[in-house]
Amino acid sequence: MGYCLAVIRVGAYIVVFVVFVAIGAFGHILFFMSPLWLSKWITYFTQWWARVTCMVLNIQIHIEGDLHAKPGSLIVANHVGSPDIFILGACFKGFFVSKAEIADWPLFNWLARLGMTIFADRSKRHQVKAIIREIEERLNADHSVILFPEAQATDGADVVPFKSAVFESAVLAGKQVVPVAIHYHDGHQPTIAFYGESFLSHIVTLLKTVRLKATVSVLPEIPADLERYILAEKSYLAIRDVVREKNC
């Protein structure tokens, strides 16, 4: 049953992939002279791509809090696995900051590039300033940016301290930070949403899973009139408290 479901979902996702790559490419051609309209096109269809992906994988999302983040918000969340991307993308319009390795993932890499994802290579420290500048530019253009400041995936049981550098973009842009906690209800320790040792094994397990339930807790925004270290710490503590409470 599990493998049959996985095969059906792979087939369905190939269709989704083709459709949304075509939509993304069309948008880049149509609005190549208008960065403003291109950005709006990309965020709109990125959200629909994420929602359709959640439908294909039968990811059911329960929302706690207000999803209507102000335009130009820096949305930060704990990171467990690939479903985080689909879930946050379905909930919020915005651009993702992603680790550079995703640029090499089959299928996802095309969609990520068409979706104007900001790729961050943690092994290149000199790249940090450029990433901060790019995030700041998008925040100043009133586009929300979604990222995982743990800079790693965890097993979902706890949250590791956030890297503070990326919060400098919110400080420079004078934009609010919106902490978001993601918790999975699958009864597994660790949750099946966790990357684990093998990404391929993780994806196969996800494709075989009949249903995955997740709670997204949108926490009160934090104004950017603080130092980046304080923003990172406040966001971390707020998200960690919710994750620990959900795991009790």
- At 113, the pLDDT band (50, 70, 90 cuts) reads confident
Average pLDDT over residues 35-64: 92
**All structural domains of the chain:** 2-247 (3.40.1130)
Query: Residue 98 in 3-state DSSP?
Result: strand
Lowest-pLDDT range, 27-41, 69-83, 121-135? 121-135
Q: Give the pLDDT confidence score for residue 127 in this predicted structure.
A: 80
Distance CA(66)–CA(59), nearest Å, equals 20
Total-model pTM: 0.92
